[in-house]
Amino acid sequence: MKGFNRYRGRFAPSPTGPLHFGSLVAALGSCLEARAQGGEWLVRMEDVDEPRCSPDVAAAMLRTLERLGFEWDGAVMVQSARKPHYRELLERLKQAGLAYPCGCTRRELADSAIAHDGAAIYPGTCRSGLPPGKAARSWRLRVDDASVTFEDAIQGTIRQQLGRDVGDFVLLRADGYFAYQLAVVADDADQGITHVVRGADLLDSTPRQIHLQRCLGLPTPAYAHLPVALNAQGEKLSKQTLAAAVDAMPAERTLLAALRFLGQAPPQDLGGKASIWAWALANWRLDEVPRERTLGLPAGM
Ligand code: GLU
């Protein structure tokens, strides 16, 4: 049986490029909070967007985490191996009349209003049936007038009216891959995740995930969204924005910088990796994490 009361957290990177400071912050924050609560901490490779991911990158990420001194519980779950589970959830949503096929192309949606995350807010063209001559390309979730409010442990009360703010969103993409929103909800539930600690770039996705959990009768974990590191150009770190790989930096310096970024105050003279971890595990305080969605990257990272 999945431990209901036991804290279980996770770090769920997408292996699209080497681990950078931004992903390290999410790894460290989620790990330290889980350990401070006496809980388990799992790692999951979110390679659901297979064309953008690679097993080599995933393996390198795990090696980097190990080199930095992270220790996770159990086997690493890999999304590309879980398609039958996602398909099953999609079938349940179809049967409940909550998922419908959509024949719209990206170009046809180009004039739609844009949601916070840059995706088009779906205007509802195929909601009551595919227009004549159109074939199904993707599957969407009917959100109607659902609204979601949740209390984020760092960012406070978050409210979203799904129909207005994001629209009917994609569950199965036109290229045949499942959407992140469906995969993450399936995986968090199947892994018995009780607490999600991750970057605030995902804050606007959380109401969609909570709504999906409700549609599927799955439990909703507690959420805490950490500030996201921005580079000097104000961009989120990624392979596209040429973020430096943390592998190229000394582990001690990177860990200390990530702790400070998260509002913790490790002394200068901690010495090696083992003593930094010992200090962090003994002194981690979630309530010291800055209550911001974004923060500038520390110098040298
Ligand atoms: N795979 C997502 C990312 O790397 C994170 C998903 C999550 O933590 O829920 O941005």
Mutate to test the pocket of ligand 1, among 19, 180, 182, 223 (most ligand atoms within 8 A of CB): 180
Identity of residue 287? D
Please give the distance, rounded to the nearest whole angstrom, from the Cα atom of residue 270 to the centre of ligand 1: 31
Q: Hey, which of 184, 208, 239 would you mutate to test ligand 1's pocket, going by the most ligand atoms within 8 Å of its Cβ? A: 184
Rounded to the nearest angstrom, the distance between the alpha carbon of 40 and the centre of ligand 1 is: 18
- Environment class of 56 (CB within 10 Å of its CB; exposed 0-12, middle 13-18, buried 19+): exposed
The set of protein residues with a Cβ atom below 6 angstroms from ligand 1 is: 12-14, 46, 184, 198, 202
CATH numeric code, 84-180: 3.40.50.620
Q: Which atom of ligand 1 is nearest to the CA of 198?
A: 8
- Cα(289) to ligand 1 centroid in Å equals 19
DSSP 76-98: PEEGGG-HHHHHHHHHHHHHTT-
Conformation bin of residue 242: beta by default, left when phi > 0, alpha when psi is -120 to 50: left
- Looking from the CA of residue 46, the nearest atom of ligand 1 is 1
* Inter-residue contact 15 to 45 (CB < 8 Å): yes
Assigned superfamily of 8-81+191-205+219-296: HUPs (3.40.50.620)
User: Any idea where the domains of the chain sit in the sequence?
Assistant: 8-81+191-205+219-296, 84-180
Query: What is the number of the ligand 1 atom nearest to the C-alpha of 205?
Result: 9
Query: Best mutation site among 202, 220, 239, 240 for ligand 1, i.e. most ligand atoms within 8 A of its Cβ?
Result: 202
Determine the distance from the C-alpha atom of residue 13 to the mean position of all C-alpha atoms in its chain, rounded to a whole number: 7
- One-letter amino acid for residue 86 of the chain: Y
What gap in Å lies between CA 187 and CA 95, rounded to an integer? 21
Q: pLDDT truncated to tens, each residue of the chain (301 aa)?
A: 444 579 999 999 999 999 999 999 999 999 999 999 999 999 999 999 999 999 999 999 999 999 999 999 999 999 999 999 999 999 999 999 999 999 999 889 988 888 887 788 999 999 999 999 999 999 999 999 999 999 999 999 999 999 999 999 999 999 999 999 999 999 999 999 999 999 999 999 999 999 999 999 999 999 999 999 998 888 888 878 878 889 889 999 999 999 999 999 999 899 899 999 999 999 999 999 999 999 998 888 8
- Residue 26 Cα to ligand 1 middle (Å): 9
Same fold, 8-81+191-205+219-296 and 84-180: yes
